[in-house]
Structure 1
Amino acid sequence: MRPSPSPTPSPSRLRRHAATLVLVVACLGTVATSPPRSPPATATIGSTLRLTQDTPRSTRGFVIRVSARDSSEDVRGEVNGLLTARWMPAGPTTSPAPTLRARLARVDDTQETGRTFTLDTPGASQEWYAGSAYFDTCTLKKGCELEVELDFEAQGELGEGTVEVDWKVNAEAYTFTDDAPKGFTVEIQER
């Protein structure tokens, strides 16, 4: 009987191990070279509005400003729209459930059409995401400002009922440094 040859790894197994090693090294290199990011500065604003058959639409405009004292750091950030909506019919109803279209976008964004949600259970609160807008990289010394609109529209037969919407706009910004500059703040003003 001949002794069996010692097992040697097949070429495909060697390639697989080599590929795994290359991916691990590439991932480590990416993590090691990621730019620093400061703790974020944040701000939130919100309220409640009511949409009816006579006033089915509402638009709110906001200006988001990021500032710091004597800093020329670059800033990035984002703004998110969140909402909780309830369909409150005036009484028993047999009409189809209304829908709510919500849109948060930069004022110069004509492509974002928004999201449409069905309010299928009368009186039940439903939470949704209305969209996002992003700060392009800007320099604090030159001023960082972003204008957005939060737009709502109740669609369908509301009769004497209402659609109540609790909305919230959250803004967050950060710099490409380990620590935030002195006086680093985000402010949201309604227009």
Structure 2
Amino acid sequence: MTGAASDALARNPRAGSGRRLSMAVLAFGIATVVCFMVWSPLMDVLLRPVCAALTEAGAECGMILLRLSDGFWLAARVALFGGFVLAFPVIAHGLWRLLFPSADRIVNGAFRPYLAASALLFWGGAALGFVFAVPPLIDAAQTALYGGLLAQPDDMAALLTLQAVAVPASLNWTMVLTLAFGLAAQLPVLWALMCRARHAETTGQR
């Protein structure tokens, strides 16, 4: 960042926020397009907790699409999920700068560790949630909601209902829960930035 740009940001902390948000939207769009091109293998990964629960119950894991448009919307949901996860560092950069404009007063370069920690905590929280928390939650939800169907793995009607209703719903919950764990891991960064921004504002008022 040049000296003139630093002075402009010091006078107007919100200067450049629109550009950062535009970059975040652009990064999200590009990442979503990339994930749309590989949505099928990405969906296979996301379905692992669901398929594990169905296999344990003796049912076949699969998905039935009832309408022609369902395939597109399924791919779009998976791509949006993957795009958000992939582009999160850029999204977080724009979001934190928007929420904490006084962070621009922090010594040049001191803001970068927060951005790195934000991305690592998000990815780490999402990964830990997907591996350790999502499978038992999905298993419990399927048992509570579709226990009667799971008890009839050889019944074709029950199997079709599971593949048409339970599997898509469980996939949606897998994506929501994974994102929730990743976003929950942002709390330490939020707390640290609030303290740092408060310190920067107090120092600037002296």
Higher relative contact order (CA 8 A, sep 6+): 1
TM-score scaled by structure 1? 0.24
TM-score scaled by structure 2? 0.23
Q: Which has the higher strand share?
A: 1
Q: Which has the higher helix share?
A: 2
Please say which structure displays the higher CA radius of gyration: 1
